[in-house]
Amino acid sequence: MSNAGVTPAATVLLPPSPAGIAEAARLLRAGQAVGLPTETVYGLAAACFDEAALARVFAAKERPTFDPLIVHVDAPAAPVVDALAAAGLVRAAALDPLARARVEALAAAFWPGPLTLVLPKDPRVPDLATAGLPTVGVRAPRHPVARALIRAAGTPLAAPSANRFGRISPTTAAAVLAELAGRIPAVLDGGPAEVGLESTVVAVAEDGALTLLRPGGVPPEDLARVAGVTPTRAAAPRPGAGLAAPGTLDSHYAPGRPLTLLPAPVAALTPAQGDAARAAAAGASAVGLLAFADAGAGERLAALVGRPVVARTLSPTGDLAEAARGLFAHLRALDEAEVDLLLAEPCPVEAGLGHAIADRLRRASAVRTP
């Protein structure tokens, strides 16, 4: 993988102590990009108004500059719109009263937490942070180490997820190192991410209309209840066709190995579906299986396809929060296992966090374009 333009150097793992946080803040103020723990996934943070620092984030991730970053703030006091305007992030005058009311209600309910609001941008926010869009994504994370770092750095932090472009988001400091070691000076270790999936991204239009750009840690039903209206769902855009949210690119959370989403749990495959699974596994010496709840699915699949199976189970009790928390770590582990292809059971629940889990499994299994 090309590393052009990035100075290779040792990457330091900083503890979440006052000294570790102070060192991360010093690096950020000096224009460096630093691994940031949040409750969703780890981010790669840079001072939001420092264009050279933002450029380092894109270089380290090999991320195309048409993909906007999320700006992280310490949870603001109400009225949130005015606080974000005072911070130089949001153009408050652009928002109608209904839009303002919806932002206040959503922030009161879900901040600090896994919700990103896309709002009209203040011209002071560099175009590089927003990919030239007239809007900016803002999130107030609830992870105490993230909050402490934002305060210590004294600036909002622009941060995408800390993976190389198109790969699985990291949920541990070790996973950040696996993605970015040698490309950034430091990762602040805040332990395993509590939610495990990225934030829900909602655009608030100037007239107050809501669009769900990416399902995530805040379930869409909860959004609708608080906002009093069901957000419109963004249609998945085609690459290059004026992206509303590049997180909606189909193949955006892909492991390195090809992943096939099964049409049903292994135990419920019809004979025809079983034949298809056997055909898919025919050329493989071993198969990886991401089971949802069935701890016996691996043995069942091995018997079905006649190949050794390395299986990981998301939640033996079918708990959606547990499944979300471990999803990316299990995918990473399977991706590193001695297997030739990956199969995944579908998420059986289409409610709550099930929306985001199903979305990530679908994207991980999308055929990659070269």
Contact residues toward ligand TXA (CB under 6 A) are 38, 40-41, 43, 67-70, 114, 116, 118, 130, 133, 135-137, 139, 159-161, 198-199, 201, 213-214, 244-247
* Chain center to CA of 354: 15
Residue 246's binding partner out of Mg ion, ligand TXA, none, with CB under 5 to 8 Å set by partner kind: ligand TXA
- Please, which residues have CB within 8 angstroms of residue 196's CB and are 6 or more apart in sequence? 40, 41, 171, 324, 325, 326, 327, 328, 329
For ligand TXA, the closer of residues 11 and 40 by Cβ is: 40
For ligand TXA, the closer of residues 38 and 313 by Cβ is: 38
φ/ψ (deg, to 5) at 364: -65, -25
For ligand TXA, the closer of residues 114 and 185 by Cβ is: 114
Smallest distance from the beta carbon of 328 to Mg ion, in angstroms? Answer: 11
- One DSSP character per residue, 292-355 reads SS-TTHHHHHHHHHTS-EEEEES-TT--HHHHHHHHHHHHHHHHHSS-SEEEEPPPS--STTHH
Residue 23's binding partner out of Mg ion, ligand TXA, none, with CB under 5 to 8 Å set by partner kind: none
For ligand TXA, the closer of residues 245 and 301 by Cβ is: 245
User: CB nearest Mg ion: which residue?
Assistant: 161
Residue 189's binding partner out of ligand TXA, Mg ion, none, with CB under 5 to 8 Å set by partner kind: none
Residue 43's binding partner out of ligand TXA, Mg ion, none, with CB under 5 to 8 Å set by partner kind: ligand TXA
Write b or e for each residue in 269-290: b if 16 or more Cβ atoms lie within 10 A of its Cβ, otherwise e: beeeeeeebeebbeebeebbbb
Smallest distance from the beta carbon of 264 to ligand TXA, in angstroms? Answer: 30
Length of the chain: 370
Q: Summarize as ranges the residues that interact with Mg ion (CB under 5 A).
A: 161
For Mg ion, the closer of residues 100 and 362 by Cβ is: 362
Smallest distance from the beta carbon of 302 to ligand TXA, in angstroms? Answer: 35
Residue 199's binding partner out of Mg ion, ligand TXA, none, with CB under 5 to 8 Å set by partner kind: ligand TXA
Tokens 């699915």, residue? 297
For Mg ion, the closer of residues 43 and 326 by Cβ is: 43
Helices (H), ranges, the chain? 18-29, 51-61, 80-86, 97-110, 127-130, 144-153, 173-180, 220-227, 271-281, 297-305, 320-336, 354-365
